[in-house]
Amino acid sequence: MSGKRGNGEGSIYPYKNSFAAYVWVTTPDGKKKRKYVYGKTREEVHDKWIKLHADAKKGPVATRHRTVAAFLAYWLESIVKPNLAPLTYVSYEGSVRLYIAPHLGAKRLDKLTVRDVREWLTKLASECQCCAQGKDAKRAPARRRCCTAGECCEAFTSRRVIQAARDALRAALTHAVVEEEIGKNVASLVKVPKPRRRRIKPWSVAEAGRFLADGVAREDPLFAAWVLVLCLGLRRGEVLGLTWKSIDFEAGELYVDHQIQRAGRQILHRETKTEESDDFLPLPALCLKALRMRRAQQTGDRKAAGDLWQDDRGLVFTTKYGTPIEPGNLTRMFALRARRAGLRVIPLRNTRHTCSSLLVALKVHPKVAQRILRHSQIAMTMEAYAEASEEEVRAALGQLSEAMGGAGGTGG
């Protein structure tokens, strides 16, 4: 074939036993640059050249494409870290570092395909992560016990971790589409099986009553925390982020607007996730009594700690030196106290299911319970009340009420 250029092909030319062409384009940063295409034949290059002309007319065109790893590093540092919650950054960063970059990082961002993503997820599900991440190899020689010793422990990735990794890649590629580095999000085209949640039977009112009665009998410094979790359905972070300023003993109300979170190496006292999470909640008498007990306990802790007391936020629940309580420690303490009370252990987050039954047992008015449970319709509250209205349920907290000096009534 002749090396001469055809009509209208002024930018197509022979190049290393093949052909090349270029088009002047506007890059995403607003500069004018040449963008090159290559092919084995003039016809192949001509088709790519025509397409490149069309792309250049539509908008900015990147002349140099980053690898997946380079883009993910930019996305984490410049997009996720300054704009999203710290916990979200920690989650995305972990997924990128452990699961995405080792497999897909070297690929060019614009060359990443649906097939690449699907094969990556399939491999992730069948690969022992102890082997892949060298976990056993990082241990001292005397403590190595599985993969390094030739006995694979088969620590396969769970469905939940696989879904989190795919979601992180999808979020990053969504931004790459917005910045016009790629034309489509290939990760969004790959489906992953949803992780199955194991259903756990919540505590009955009788079990919750036994748990709380055991706590007050032992003068548990976290007794008020358990009361708020069980009677108001507060989340772990919301309980730990509670300050004395947010409690109005006179009005019998509590304002939820902050939470404690562990984000990497930091413990953060920050606003709740959304404005909808902020709310004034009425405090049943049991809660008010428990919070007054907690205030007295903390006063004693502060006096005992003296100059070692560190709390400057006015947190309701602290260590004996006034420092914030680790969220993970609260979960472990809950399980420990459940075993101590002779009860089956349930996840701390599952206590909300017991909340409505406890409100019935405490004889809280349905309209007040509706606010506490954050039900949009009173019918939902009444349905919960109908399921837990037997007299034996109402009497389940009698022992607790007596231990607290009759705090189970409706008075403040």
| CATH code: domain of residue 99 | 1.10.150.130
Residue 50 in domain: yes
How would you class 405 by CB atoms within 10 Å of its CB: exposed for 0-12, middle for 13-18, buried for 19 or more?
exposed
Mean pLDDT of 296-323: 90
Q: Are residues 237 and 380 in the same domain?
A: yes
d(CA 119, CA 268): 38
Residue 149 in domain: yes
d(CA 370, CA 410): 16
Taking only the tens place, the pLDDT of each residue in 167-184 is 999 999 999 988 877 888
Above 70 in pLDDT, residue 149? yes
Q: Are residues 224 and 354 in the same domain?
A: yes
Range of the domain at 138: 68-189
Residue 197 in domain: no
Looking at residue 386, its pLDDT comes to 60
Residue 53 in domain: yes
d(CA 14, CA 20): 6
Q: Are residues 215 and 184 in the same domain?
A: no
* Count of structural domains within the chain: 3
Looking at residue 95, its pLDDT comes to 94
**Beta-carbon-side half-sphere exposure of residue 37 (alpha carbons within 13 Å):** 23
Residue 222 in domain: yes
Q: Are residues 309 and 212 in the same domain?
A: yes
Q: Are residues 377 and 234 in the same domain?
A: yes
Residue 200 in domain: no
Mean pLDDT of 105-120: 93
Looking at residue 3, its pLDDT comes to 46
Q: Are residues 19 and 95 in the same domain?
A: no
Above 60 in pLDDT, residue 294? yes
Higher pLDDT, 195 or 78: 78
Q: Are residues 367 and 267 in the same domain?
A: yes
The residue type found at 156 is F
Count other C-beta atoms under 10 Å from residue 324's C-beta. Answer: 19
Q: Are residues 53 and 77 in the same domain?
A: no
Count other C-beta atoms under 10 Å from residue 340's C-beta. Answer: 13
Residue 210 in domain: yes
Higher pLDDT, 358 or 35: 35
Mean pLDDT of 304-330: 90
Average predicted confidence (pLDDT) for the chain: 82
Q: Return the top range by mean pLDDT from 188-202, 349-363, 393-407.
A: 188-202
Residue 409 in domain: no
pLDDT band of 407, cuts 50, 70, 90: very low
The fraction of the chain above a pLDDT of 90, given in percent, is: 32
Looking at residue 277, its pLDDT comes to 45
Question: Measuring CA to CA, which residue among 320, 356, 391 is closest to residue 233?
Answer: 356
Q: Which of 189, 224, 244 represents a domain boundary (last residue)? A: 189
d(CA 115, CA 345): 43
Q: Are residues 118 and 41 in the same domain?
A: no
Above 70 in pLDDT, residue 327? yes
Higher pLDDT, 275 or 215: 215
d(CA 389, CA 236): 28
| CATH code: domain of residue 314 | 1.10.443.10
- HEC-encoded secondary structure of the chain: CCCCCCCCCCCEEEECCEEEEEEEEECCCCCEEEEEEEECCHHHHHHHHHHHHHHHHHCCCCCCCCEHHHHHHHHHHHHHHHHCCHHHHHHHHHHHHHHHHHHHCCCEHHHCCHHHHHHHHHHHHHCEHHHHCCCCCCCCHHHCCCCCCCCCCCCECCHHHHHHHHHHHHHHHHHHHHCCCCCCCHHHHCCCCCCCCCCCCCCCHHHHHHHHHHHHHCCCCCHHHHHHHHHHCCCHHHHHCCEHHHEECCCCEEEECEEEEEECCEEEEEECCCHHHCEEEECCHHHHHHHHHHHHHHHHHHHHHHHHCCCCCCECCECCCCCECCHHHHHHHHHHHHHHCCCCCCCHHHHHHHHHHHHHHCCCCHHHHHHHHCCCCHHHHHHHHHHCCCHHHHCCCHHHHHHCCCCCCCCC
Q: Are residues 301 and 349 in the same domain?
A: yes
pLDDT band of 293, cuts 50, 70, 90: very high
Q: Are residues 230 and 136 in the same domain?
A: no
Q: At what angle do helices 159-178 and 114-126 cross, to 10 degrees?
A: 160
Looking at residue 392, its pLDDT comes to 44
Q: Are residues 35 and 119 in the same domain?
A: no
